[in-house]
Amino acid sequence: MLKRVAYYPGCSCEGMAIEYDQSVRALCYVLGIELVGIPDWNCCGSTPSHSYDPLLGAALAGRNLAIARSQGLDVVMTPCPSCLKALKTANQVFRERPSEFLDVLGMPFSGDVRAISVLQLLYEEIGPNLIQKAVKFPFKNKKIVPYYGCLLTRPPAFAQFDDPENPVSMDRLIEAAGAAVPDFPHKTECCGAALGITQRDVVMRLTGRILDMARAVGADALAVACPLCQQNLDLRQDQVNRALKENFNLPVLYITQIIGCALGIDRKTLGIEKLAVKTDALFQSA
Amino acid sequence: MRIGVFICQCGTNIAGTVDTRAVAKKAMEFPDVVFAVDYMYTCSEPGQKEIQDAISSHRLQGVVVAACSPRMHEPTFRRAVKKAGINPYMFEQANIREHCSWIGTDREANTRKAIDMVRMSVEKLRRNQALFSTQVAVNKRVLVIGGGVAGIQAALDCSDGGLEVVMVEREPSIGGKMAKLDKTFPTIDCSSCILGPKMVDVAQKENIRLYAYSEVEAISGYIGNFKVDIRKKATYVDWNACTGCGECTQKCPSKKAFDHFNEGLGATTAINIPFPQAIPKKARIDSDYCRYLTGGKCRVCEKICPVKAIRFDMKDEIVTEEVGAIIVASGYDLFDARVYGEYGGGRYPDVISAMQYERILSASGPYGGHIRRPSDGREPKEIVFISCVGSRDISVDRPYCSGICCMYIAKQAIMTRDHIPDSNCYVSYMDIRAPGKGYDEFIRRAQEEYGVKYIRGRVGRIYPRGDRLVVQGADTLLGVQVEIEADLVVLATGVECSAGARPLAEKLRISYDQHGFYMESHPKLRPVETNTAGVFLAGVCQGPKDIPASVGQGSAAASKVQALFSRDTIETDPQVAHVNENMCIGCGKCEQVCPFGAIRMKTLRDGSRKSEVLETVCQGCGLCNATCPNKAIQLRHSTDDQILAEINTLFD
């Protein structure tokens, strides 16, 4: 099992998704995984850089991997699926166009630093069995549905994690936390992503559909592993209610918060109070 | 030796990038060459005549033709030189087309290479010896592997021609996929009504021996004289005694056995007869579900059987048959729809495969021919068919078109509208491929007469809402997103090679393509032959095709066998291994490496051990030649001397 990984929070975890960052750090501390900061880490490049120039995007993300390597680490963990994609792309571009990539990067790069998501860390490195054993406060009589979004498992050849159309890793982790997991057909349907900025009606429709299905299968809450998914489903839930004349009231928690709670970590430490949709009902025993 | 060299231009195929005249001119400088010329089409009648004329006028003793692949025309030219009085093995063919002119565009380099290739052939020819075939008797029995419609047609045609036929079928009944179909396109003929009589013929013909529930275990020998080991799998019922009365299936208490014939819809009994028209109509015990074989208690069928046919101690049995030719008609499998997670096949009970729907439509199927949903037995009103599930999709390694799905979907949609007039049928398709006779008209009937709604575009996701299924996709003609709330979704699963295709090919020593379909000898001109003499192909094992094409191939393969068997003997290939006993030290390594069992060791009168080649069994692969430490065993026509002469001349 991995004991020590480089930690790349990305920009969301310093702002909108600060509770994701808090819960990842708290959970890893309890599980005995040392998160090593990447000194002077920089933006992964996100969508604008690779849209402008793929080499620029790859080099921006690659710099973080190179620093991690210089710290003697060979795994970088990030909570954000978009950062994960950028970090993995750096390795891919290095393999395909090594000389151009190194030229832009301007520092040593070995291409052997693996980038993984926090979900991958929990599912593949720690595993549901170990987590289940550590659970002190299981979610009894609660139904929580997992929402994976688009990037964590796709494209399959690139992600190399779980099933692209019907992933189950988060299902197993939620079950380990003691909650029931109803079959959730929309677990990989698009949430609308960044269209919330340019075409909000699309996000209203797509996010509304996911919330509608979650309600239909009787969910008490949703579990997510992506800051953008969380934002659309949680922060915009009020907007969705107004736009669609609905009254959804579904808490949307990060998977790290759910496991953290089950392990007995203080809710304040996990940043639960920062969520837009109130979670009180979820923590009342039925 | 007096050698003549003929350089073929092959129109512009060779002459386009090779200076054939220069090659011919250069060839005149090679040792023993007394005549060289280039010609437009050496394989044509005047081209062959030119060779024959040159043989007599220049008193040639050997001929080199530089042209296409020997695979294409070596037999042609060997015949031509033989007619002019030269031994056919005093001929060499240099492949300056596939190996030279078709590869590069640099005329000068190609010409240089062609000259080298001709030089090599001349050097080899200088060391050739006249070789002579022997005649071996042909065993005029034919093995047909697979009892689907292609194999049945082949067997019946051979039987009609008076040949003895051995048929091996893996399943408990013959009939293959066609026996499971309700109707056939584009005539809506009842499938079992047109196939049934043929199946009965197989059972009744005295010169057809049927091994059902059996598999080919091993094959040895060669054209005219194959030996085939057949594994008769244990049925736990003595089929000589069983009358197919079905009493046992009525009383069997294990009623949850997987119903293979009905594609897992409904269940059957552990002892069962697969379907009413089964041939042979005999009971078999499914050992996975039999209470006695799994739990040690029951034996109800044994008590009930009026002819005492139950044999719980039955074991697999190997029988050996000798035949002179083999027709492979081993069929195909259907793509596993569960691979597409977004469609939910295998997760949602009302997302079914087209073959399952075929069983639902069939009067002998699990619901007696009434269209019902597997989940709750309700009659569906909104039915969506999705084409190309496992066809034309490189992401699942199925880049090819299965060729039959467009048609069977149209048929199933027509049948659905016929059974349930107030239903709506939707077909999500990429393109409609209907090139057969009356096929496109059939699709138009589905659209125009039966009002089946065709939507061009792919489905992206299927998910349940309440007790229905939401089918989400695109209409790429209108450029809009489509959402249909369906009661039943039918996935048109494509054709893939049979799970056992590759191991069987290795037993038969025939080749297969990257998707496991068997390779024909020539894609246009030898469609039912393989590159292994005496082994022929029929049906979908060679590539996706519909029933008419499968039947056509079955008949074609049968006619090839009859042509082969019209002679009492066949000529053996003299290009086989030969032992120089003076040099053989009897180490036996050749015997160990021979993949065909064509070498055995013998003891001479002085007690020394020597190896011996069974010339009729030897396939001329040359492994023994390469292995022999003393170079005592030599492959005729490809001896060490000949190959080294070819290589050495390149470095002179």
Domain boundary, last residue among A76, A97, A118: A118
Are B118 and B66 in contact by the 8 Å Cβ rule? The answer is yes
Residue-wise pLDDT for B539-591, tens only, equals: 999 999 999 999 999 999 999 999 999 999 988 889 999 999 999 999 999 99
- Which residues are CB-contacts of B36 (< 8 A; sequence separation ≥ 6)? B4, B5, B6, B7, B24, B25, B27, B28
| Mean pLDDT calculated for residue range B8-20 | 96
**What are the beta bridge partners of residue B464?**
B469
CA distance B77 to chain A (A): 50
Say whether both A140 and A275 belong to one domain.
yes
Q: What angle do CA A206, A208, A211 make, to 5 degrees?
A: 115
Residue B619: what pLDDT? 84
| Mean pLDDT calculated for residue range B24-40 | 96
Q: Please indicate if any CB of chain B lies within 8 Å of the CB of A130.
A: no
Closest A-chain CA to B470: A185
Please give the Cα distance from A66 to A113 (Å, whole number): 8
Q: So what CATH class is B3-125? A: alpha beta
Provide the 10 A C-beta neighbour count for residue B603: 10
B274 cis-preceded (ω within 30 degrees of 0):
no
ipTM: 0.81
Chain A residues touching residue B350 (CB < 8 angstroms): none
Residue B533: what pLDDT? 87
pLDDT above 90: residue B532: no
For an interface test with B, give the residue of A165, A187, A212, A213 to mutate (most B CBs within 10 A): A165
CA distances from B362 to B88, B180, B372 (A): 59, 8, 12
Q: What angle do CA B52, B56, B62 make, to 5 degrees?
A: 70
Residue-wise pLDDT for B161-216, tens only, equals: 999 999 999 999 999 999 999 999 999 999 999 999 999 999 999 999 999 999 99
Sheet of A252-254, strands arranged across: A144-147, A221-224, A252-254
* Residue A107's CATH number: 1.20.1050.140
- DSSP string spanning B112-124? HHHHHHHHHHHHH
Range in B48-57, B106-115, B363-372, B593-602 the model is least confident about: B593-602
| Mean pLDDT calculated for residue range B104-127 | 96
**What are the beta bridge partners of residue B383?**
B425, B488
Q: Where are the domains of chain B?
A: 3-125, 141-233+316-331+498-565, 247-304, 333-496, 577-636
Residue-wise pLDDT for A244-278, tens only, equals: 999 999 999 999 999 999 999 999 999 999 999 99
CA distance B493 to chain A (A): 18
The superfamily CATH assigns to domain B333-496 is FAD/NAD(P)-binding domain (3.50.50.60)
Closest B-chain CA to A209: B465
Contact A189 B347 (CB under 8 A): no
Residue B597: what pLDDT? 81
Q: Which residue has the higher pLDDT, A74 or B595?
A: A74
Fold of B577-636: Alpha-Beta Plaits (3.30.70)
Say whether both A271 and A241 belong to one domain.
yes
- DSSP string spanning chain A? ---EEEE--TTGGGTTTHHHHHHHHHHHHHHT-EEEE-TT-----HHHHHHH-HHHHHHHHHHHHHHHHHTT--EEEES-HHHHHHHHHHHHHHHHSHHHHHHHH-S---S--EEEEHHHIIIIII-HHHHHHH-SS--TT-BEEEE-TTTSS-SHHHH-SS-SSS--HHHHHHHHTT-B----TTTTS---TTHHHH-HHHHHHHHHHHHHHHHHTT-SEEEES-HHHHIIIIITHHHHHHHHT------EEEHHHHHHHHTT--TTTTTGGG-SS--HHHHS--
pLDDT above 90: residue A213: yes
Residue B365: what pLDDT? 94
pLDDT above 90: residue B296: yes
What average pLDDT is seen over chain A?
95
- The second-level CATH assignment, the architecture, of B141-233+316-331+498-565 is 3-Layer(bba) Sandwich (3.50)
Residue B618: what pLDDT? 87
| Mean pLDDT calculated for residue range B144-159 | 98
Residue-wise pLDDT for B217-266, tens only, equals: 999 888 899 999 999 999 999 999 999 999 999 999 999 999 999 999 98
Total structural domains within chain A: 2
pLDDT above 80: residue B323: yes
Q: Is residue A166 part of a domain?
A: yes
Nearest CB partner across the interface for B461, out of A163, A164, A189: A189
Residue-wise pLDDT for A143-196, tens only, equals: 999 999 999 999 998 999 999 999 999 999 999 999 999 999 999 999 999 999
Three-class SS state of B334? strand
| Dihedral, A236, A237, A242, A247 alpha carbons, nearest 10 | 180
Please give the Cα distance from A21 to B180 (Å, whole number): 58
Residue A286: what pLDDT? 58
Are B247 and B304 in contact by the 8 Å Cβ rule? The answer is yes
Domain containing A170: what range? 128-283
Residue-wise pLDDT for A95-123, tens only, equals: 999 999 999 999 999 999 999 999 999 99
pLDDT above 90: residue A284: no
B75 cis-preceded (ω within 30 degrees of 0):
no
Residue pointed to by tokens 């008076």: B162
What average pLDDT is seen over chain B?
96
Confidence of residue A285 (pLDDT cuts 50, 70, 90): confident
pLDDT above 90: residue A223: yes
Q: Give the number of beta-carbon pairs within 8 Å between A and B.
A: 17
Domain boundary, last residue among A66, A95, A118: A118
Residue B94: what pLDDT? 97
Closest A-chain CA to B341: A165
Residue-wise pLDDT for A4-16, tens only, equals: 999 999 999 999 9
Provide the 10 A C-beta neighbour count for residue B122: 26
Please give the Cα distance from B60 to B53 (Å, whole number): 10
Contact B340 A213 (CB under 8 A): no
Residue B477: what pLDDT? 97
